Each structure stands twice: as structure tokens, then as C-alpha cells.
A and B are shown apart, each in its own frame.
Chain A
Amino acid sequence: MPSVFVYGTVFGGLAVQAGLRPLEVWGMSVLVFAGASQFVAVPLLAAGAPAAAIVLTTYVINMRHYLMAATLAPSFRAFPRGWLALVAHVINDESFAVAVARRHPPDPWVFIGSAAAVSGAFLAGVAVGTPLGGLVADPARWGLDFAFPAVFLALVALQLRRPADWVVALMAAALAVAIARVLPGTWHIVIAGFVVSALAALVLQPETA
């Protein structure tokens, strides 16, 4: 949980630094509650990128939730629909990892307990981070602009398990760099992320990959 708290603090600080108001940072954290996409959206919002581009990028980044929801679904079979609506909103990488590591199928209460702790820690972090936001005059001098790509790079490294994973990641990286040189905004994320993953899913064998 401490790392989620710090993650929230860094997000709150960087978002205010980028020009968002504390209430907007809060609103995004409660309503979207998906850290990686929020980290990507903030510099885009600050740069005045088109709303549709930011929303589409958010969708592609958060498509990973489909797999988590599908894996968790059988565990929540007996839950009333109102509960499911709430549980759906707090699906997050950390709690999913905790619930899946313990038992198969995952224990719904382990997931709910972890999700409550993660959302609490993240929002508490945001609350601590937003007032700190305006304090650093030149974030680049302290390398803080590098915090965004660093988080994403580390998450990539943690997911590379099979040889095919390396091929997918390297192809997506190369295509994204090539597109980023010619197209503005975040089209490189949307196109490279979508095309490379879809092509790989068509080519690779589901049981081996």
C-alpha cells in the first residue's frame, strides 16, 4: 500500500504542477481511478490536446481491465448487481495481482479488501500531493519529468515473461517511435498499442503465448 500512496502523491503533485486545479485532480482520481491513464492524460490536458484524443488514449490504456474483469467475474457470481457496479469501478492492477496470487478462482473478499485499501491509499496520496504541486519551480531540473516514462518502462519490464512478449513490446516501441515523429498528439499510442497487440493475437498460438 505505501507505494500506491506515493504514486498518488506524485500524481497529485505533477498534475497541479502541469496546471490542473486540485479539484480537477481530485475529480479525475475519484471518477477515473486508473493511475497510468491519468499520468498520460495530465500532460495532454495541460498542452490543450483535443478532448477526443485524450479520451481515446485513455480507453486504449485501460483496455487491460477487460482481462481483469473477465478473470474476476466468476468469483462475483453470487453478488447483487448493485455491488458489481461498485466493484467494477475499483478494479485495479495491484488488487487484481493480490487476489489472483492467493487463490484460483480469486477470493472476492480478498479483492474487495485490497481494492478498498488501494483506493484509500491512492486518494490519500493525491490529497497530500496536490498542495505540494506548485512548490518545485523547475521540475525538469530534478528529473521529475522523467517520472512518467520511468513508471511505464518499469511496468513493461515487469510484464516481459515469454519470448513472444519481447517481440510484441519491441515492435510496439519501434512503431510508436516512428509514428510519433510524423503524427502529433497520442496517435502513436493508440495505433501502435492497438495494431501490434491485435496482430500478435492473430499470429501467436493462445496456448503457448
Chain B
Amino acid sequence: MRSEVWLVIAGMAIVTYFTRAPLLFVLARRPLPPRLRLWLRLIPLAVLPAIALPMVLVERDAAGARLALSLAHPPLWGAVVVFALAALRVNLLLTVALGVAVVALLRALA
């Protein structure tokens, strides 16, 4: 069973190295085409919200998946706090810590 964990780690390591090494080796002389460069710049802008928002807004369990848009849903307020602090360029670590604290506080009050 644990060899499966190592298989996943090996797979992750291989595909990640494949995102780092090829262009460092090949592109020492030629510049990247502008449209490809634009796409590479936009990838994190699409991937990061695609990871984060479903974690906050979609509740999954054995019964299925549903939207969690209620104002009594603590992660929603944590998300608002984190987004606002990060937009104001507050230190990343402090931002995350305050977001976690807000979620913990609201859960304790509920």
C-alpha cells in the first residue's frame, strides 16, 4: 500500500522536473513566442482560483457535492479576510494566520 505513495511521489517528481528543465536547456538562445509566453503567465492565474474557490465553496461528502454559500459558513469569511489582506500586500504568512484564526473563531462561536 505504501509503495503506492512512493509511486505517486515519483510521478509528481518526474512531471515537475519536466516543467523546469526543458526550457532551461533549450531556450538559452531563442526567446519564447509572445502568445505562448502569455499563456504560461495566465496558467497560475487560472489554476490557483480553480484550486482555492471549490475548497471554500463546495462541500463534498458521501452524499454528494453542494454549494456552501451560507453566511454561516466560516471558510467564506476566512476567504474574504485572506483575499483583502493579500490585496493590501500584508505579509503572506500573517495573512494566512489571520484567515485561519477567523475560521477557528467563527467555528468556536457557532
Residue A87, interface by CB 8 Å: yes
- Chain A window 174-207, contacts with chain B (Cβ cutoff 8 Å), 1 for yes, 0 for no: 0111001110000011001110111011101011
Measured CB to CB, the closest approach of chain A to B69, in angstroms, equals: 10
Whole-angstrom distance between the alpha carbons of A155 and B35 in the complex?
23
A54 touches B12 (CB 8 A): yes
Out of A55, A59, A143, name the residue touching B102 (CB < 8 Å): A143
Residue A135, interface by CB 8 Å: no
B50 touches A81 (CB 8 A): no
Residue A132, interface by CB 8 Å: no
Provide the residues of chain B in CB contact with A189, threshold 8 Å: 47, 50-51, 54
Q: A24-B5, A55-B15, A181-B66 are in contact. Are A193 and B91 (CB under 8 A)?
A: no
Q: A81-B25, A188-B54 are in contact. Are A51 and B40 (CB under 8 A)?
A: no
Residue A6, interface by CB 8 Å: yes
Residue total for B at the interface (Cβ-Cβ under 8 A): 80
Provide the residues of chain A in CB contact with B72, threshold 8 Å: none
Whole-angstrom distance between the alpha carbons of A170 and B50 in the complex?
9
A74 touches B19 (CB 8 A): no
Out of B40, B46, B55, name the residue touching A148 (CB < 8 Å): B55
Measured CB to CB, the closest approach of chain B to A71, in angstroms, equals: 9
Provide the residues of chain A in CB contact with B103, threshold 8 Å: 143, 146
Q: A58-B12, A64-B40, A154-B92 are in contact. Are A89 and B67 (CB under 8 A)?
A: no
A154 touches B24 (CB 8 A): no
Measured CB to CB, the closest approach of chain B to A53, in angstroms, equals: 10
Whole-angstrom distance between the alpha carbons of A180 and B49 in the complex?
13
Whole-angstrom distance between the alpha carbons of A21 and B21 in the complex?
29
Whole-angstrom distance between the alpha carbons of A206 and B35 in the complex?
6
Out of A84, A91, A143, A169, name the residue touching B78 (CB < 8 Å): A143
A170 touches B25 (CB 8 A): no
A-B contact pairs, 14 of them (CB 8 A): A3-B92, A60-B47, A63-B47, A65-B19, A69-B20, A143-B102, A150-B100, A154-B85, A154-B86, A155-B92, A157-B82, A193-B50, A200-B42, A209-B41
B residues with a Cβ closer than 8 A to A are 2, 4-13, 15-29, 32, 34-58, 60, 65-67, 74-75, 78-79, 82-83, 85-87, 89, 91-93, 95-96, 99-105, 107-108
